[in-house]
Structure 1
Amino acid sequence: MFDIGQNDLAGAFYSKTFDQIVASIPNILVEFETGIKKLHDQGARNFWIHNTGPLGCLTQNVLKFGSDPSKLDELGMCDFMLSRKKLQGQHSDSNITYVDIYTIKSNLIANYSRYGFEQPIMACCGYGGPPLNYDRRIVCGQTKVLDGTSVTAQACNDSTEYVNWDGIHYSEAANQYISSQILTGKFSDPPFADKMPFLLNLKF
């Protein structure tokens, strides 16, 4: 199973400009495809591949790129995304299931109040207060001297109200929603509703 970690991608992108990020995407996709081919060459035949979530919605990226209103969409998110590309016909002897995490997470952020959340972008555990509660100099749980004052990046009172946990990871409540949507099979290509009894019995 491949789960493309959006926090790892976001971390790598944080030192780049917007144009550099866009330019790097084709090479990243080639690397993923090369890795899949190598596993196929070694005998792998069953693949469950997730795409990544909307990186422009992460608090970290809104802080970096969001100073320019022209780069924000109607939800206050940075208006860029990773290309979504699936493997089609490259390995005809394999079972490849593609899971569209991007759509699930985008829907959650766009309709957060419908699913019981109050904050779609602001981090629960961070420092700085609204609107983002995120300061790249201090991570969740850390105590540090900033601008001559000792401060702590603390968690909010109720993390179930937040989609974002620490500026880059999703909260437990958000991940529960995301996993529930994965298990419907609706966001998989091909749909895997016929595999539900097996998947629901998996122990994590």
Structure 2
Amino acid sequence: MALKFSAIQTLLAFIFSFLPIVIPLKFSYPAVFNFGDSNSDTGGLVAGLAFPVGPPNGETYFQQPYGRFCDGRLIIDFLMDAMGRPFLNPYLDSVGAPDFQKGCNFAAGGSTILPANAASTSPFSFGVQVAQFVRFKDRVLKLLAKDKKSQKNLPLEDYFNRGLYMFDMGQNDIDGAFNSKSEDQVIASFPAILSEFEAGIKRLYTEGARNFWVHNTGPLGCLPRIIATFGTNPSKLDQLACVDSHNRAANVFNSQLHDLCTKFQGQFPDANLSYVDIFSIKLKLISNFSQYGFKQPLAACCGYGGPPLNFDRRIACGQTKVLNGSTVTGSPCNDTAEYVNWDGNHYTEAANRYVSGEILAGNYSNQLPLSINTFTLPTSVFIGSKLSYYD
């Protein structure tokens, strides 16, 4: 019987691989609990370490710095807005009586999946973020039992089971590894990194989490900082002028992450896990930037140095320094909507809007495992050797 069911799954996957099907993403949950790094940090690092995220960050949407490494909104902000939910408040931010009723953000810039060490930008690694969630949940349930008035600012008890658990981590692990390791050594470190990730999501499952939303890592080799550091030799660049080694490593990491997600879904069939191919979305944007209204696919909007990358690691976005006897500033561009990259490391609000739009359209995402009862299919699917990529 199992063999017959497996054969049906394979046949259906083959059939649907040739059909252009459009099914908008169903994206509605009572609460969201997010774990990640600066790609989804809404103020955690600023609150936790008083990390200086000053002007011109936030200028496009918030008109002031708002804890985000961006000129405006992040992907997670657009996704929360699509659900009709307020932006997620950071777990570490206690100023202004934050509202956690619709969820909580444990992400912090610079965070890694592997445990932090003395050289880490952020001490809030994935294991720490998961531990923070466990404490948060325990504290919330005690407060709700003690005082029903707490309901107006805290998630209800069943929200922890019905809510969405989002993950966007791994980029900093890969990035940091390249500082001291060869490409082969970096790739060899992935099983240990993903074992840590697996332990974290399993712990969340034991805490009642059932809806998981996993973003893979983006094209690291296309960040201006990476190109400026590792791409000085043209032979190290691909046809898009991105660093080939970093993008190859990201692809291997994503393949292994996809395998882990498939394994997890098989072990816990009552869970619902969706895997989102952020790498392909961002690479498509960079490859076809003019088609989507952008003029600069790789150069940083806010930086110093001018074309082609407008990035100098000595001068951060918004920073003023004396360099070679002259006072210089990492200034923002005139129109952030023309740029994919914001500061050499992060994307602009305009790029984040594009990425979130692709996600919400149901493109580049799939629910695991493929079953004959439930499909979350993108516009056009084709089956690859190990991974199914969505375009």
Shorter-chain TM-score range: 0.7 to 0.9
Paired residue for 1:2?
A: 166
1:102 is the counterpart of 2:267: no
Alignment-mate amino acid for residue 35 of structure 1: G
Paired residue for 1:112?
A: 289
1:56 is the counterpart of 2:221: yes
Measured after TM superposition, the shift of residue 22 of structure 1 is 3.1
Measured after TM superposition, the shift of residue 23 of structure 1 is 3.5
Match of 2:211 among 46, 49, 72: 46
TM-score, normalised relative to structure 2: 0.47
What is the RMSD of the two structures over their aligned residues, measured on CA atoms? 2.0
Whole-angstrom CA distance in 2 between matches of 1:188 and 1:160: 25
Report the CA distance shift for 1:178/1:75 in structure 2 as closer, same or farther (over 3 A). Answer: same
Percent of matched pairs sharing the same residue: 53
* Conserved? CA contact 1:7–1:168, under 8 Å: no
Paired residue for 1:156?
A: 333
Residue 108 of structure 1 aligns to a residue whose secondary structure is: helix
Measured after TM superposition, the shift of residue 8 of structure 1 is 3.9
Measured after TM superposition, the shift of residue 9 of structure 1 is 4.4
Residue 169 of structure 1 aligns to a residue whose secondary structure is: coil
Number of aligned residue pairs: give it.
Answer: 193
Whole-angstrom CA distance in 2 between matches of 1:110 and 1:90: 37
* Conserved? CA contact 2:303–2:317, under 8 Å: yes
Whole-angstrom CA distance in 2 between matches of 1:50 and 1:119: 25
Paired residue for 1:202?
A: none
Alignment-mate amino acid for residue 166 of structure 2: F
Which has the larger displacement, 31-40 or 174-183?
31-40
Whole-angstrom CA distance in 1 between matches of 2:331 and 2:314: 14
Match of 1:35 among 193, 200, 214: 200
Measured after TM superposition, the shift of residue 180 of structure 1 is 0.4
Match of 2:361 among 175, 179, 184: 184
1:139 is the counterpart of 2:336: no
Paired residue for 2:267?
A: 90
Paired residue for 1:76?
A: 241
Measured after TM superposition, the shift of residue 11 of structure 1 is 5.7
Residue 189 of structure 2 aligns to a residue whose secondary structure is: helix
Unaligned runs of 5+ in 2: 1-164, 368-374, 378-391
Paired residue for 1:126?
A: 303
Whole-angstrom CA distance in 2 between matches of 1:91 and 1:61: 38
Which has the larger displacement, 171-180 or 30-39?
30-39
Whole-angstrom CA distance in 1 between matches of 2:302 and 2:215: 26
Paired residue for 2:179?
A: 15
Larger Rg: 2
